[in-house]
Amino acid sequence: MAFYNDFPEYVPVAEKKRRAAAAVEKLKKKDNKVWPIVISGRTIAATWWGKAWCSNLESYADYSNRIDRGRSYVRHGAVLDLQVAQGKVAALVQGSSSKPYKIEVKVTPLSNEMWNSIVKECSGKINSLQELAAGKFPKGLSDLFIMKSSGLFPSPKDIQFSCSCPDYAVMCKHVAAVLYGIGARFDDNAALFFELRMVKMDELITASLAEQSKTMLGKDGRRGRRVMEDGDLAGTFGIDLNLDMDKEPTRTRAGSSTADAAIKPRRGRPPKNKAADVAPRKD
């Protein structure tokens, strides 16, 4: 990069984006799994999980004065690759050097005690993984998730990072760009948030569905849809269920009761039509 009067050369935004796109294509020739951060809208993150991640970072004084340095970098496509794994993030950021800088971010896993408490609070309040990923849940859960010291999102003490650039600042602009890029990545896949925090996303749904099933099974005094009323049964099968069982049935010559005769079909040949056996009269 050229310098004039100790200041770096001004590069238009369009040129920065073009250079970043060219760098991404170069990386993809070596590794087709390269996954750059692409910001298409006015905001860095658009979904609930992405916005909550960025807002959480900005809410801490330790970060508020330094993380803004990464906004322009991530917007201009400088985060060439960002991969989220369990408890860590690996990224490549294009800076002033011809080669991209390597950044690593480590996040402390959520404690079992805190996670179990959150799972318990979610019981019966989330209907599906799709709704959870889309951020469609009661405001009470939203407040619980973002609560400092007891929510899902990490505090500065839970985040460690490093960068291969020569900047000795506690948080360089490349790291700041990656931290914002993580929020943008959650727009692509909210499940990556839970992977980063090393907890199982579906446990929130399992506990919720179990509570809903328990509530449904606890409701009694209602007829099931498959239970038929006596009148429906009689109308469907043509059976008289109002027989007078106290009345003694009469016996027929064959020894069977009238009740048996009423419900048992007769066997044998059908009766002859006597009218058909009479020979026609000759005039």
The predicted model scores a pTM of: 0.72
According to the model, what pLDDT value does residue 35 have? 97
Contact 47, 185 (CB under 8 A): no
Examine residue 92 and state whether it is found in any structural domain, yes or no: yes
Res 218: pLDDT:
58
Cα three-residue angle 190-192-198, rounded to 5 degrees: 125
Rounded CA gap, 176 and 114, in Å?
27
Distance CA 92, CA 98 (A): 12
What is the Cα–Cα distance from 66 to 174, expressed in whole angstroms? 11
pLDDT of residue 6: 53
pLDDT at position 228 is 45
In a domain? residue 39: yes
Query: Does 226 reside within a domain?
Result: no
CB 57 within 8 A of CB 67: yes
Residue 271 lies in a domain: no
84-105 in b/e burial notation, b at 16+ Cβ within 10 A?
A: beeeebebbbbbeeeebbebeb
Please indicate, yes or no, if residue 74 is contained in any of the structural domains: yes
Domain count of the fold of the chain: 1
Strand order of the sheet with strand 159-163?
79-85, 88-93, 101-107, 159-163
231 in a structural domain: no
Contacts of 128 (CB under 8 A, 6+ apart): 205
Q: Which residues of the chain have pLDDT under 50?
A: 1-4, 220-221, 223-250, 252-259, 261-263, 275-276, 278, 283
Letter string b/e over residues 210-235, b meaning 16 or more CB atoms within 10 A of that residue's CB: ebeeeeeeeeeeeeeeeeeeeeeeee
| Contacts of 190 by beta carbon, 8 Å cutoff, 6+ apart | 47, 49, 132, 133, 134, 135, 201
Q: Which residues constitute the domain of residue 201?
A: 10-216
pLDDT of residue 281: 53
Rounded to whole angstroms, how far apart are CA atoms 148 and 217?
Answer: 36
Q: Is residue 200 part of a domain?
A: yes
Q: Is residue 3 part of a domain?
A: no
Using only the alpha carbons of the chain, give its radius of gyration.
38
Q: pLDDT digit string (tens) for 26-39?
A: 999 999 899 999 99
Token reading at 247: 């009345």
| Amino acid in position 164 | S
Both tokens of 255, joined, read 């020894």
pLDDT tens digits for range 69-126: 899 999 999 999 999 999 999 999 999 888 999 999 999 999 999 999 999 998 888 8
Is 186 within 8 Å of 193 (Cβ atoms)?
Answer: yes
Q: Measured over all CA atoms, what is the biggest interatomic distance in the chain, rounded to whole angstroms?
A: 141
Q: How many residues make up the chain in this entry?
A: 283
CB 53 within 8 A of CB 183: yes
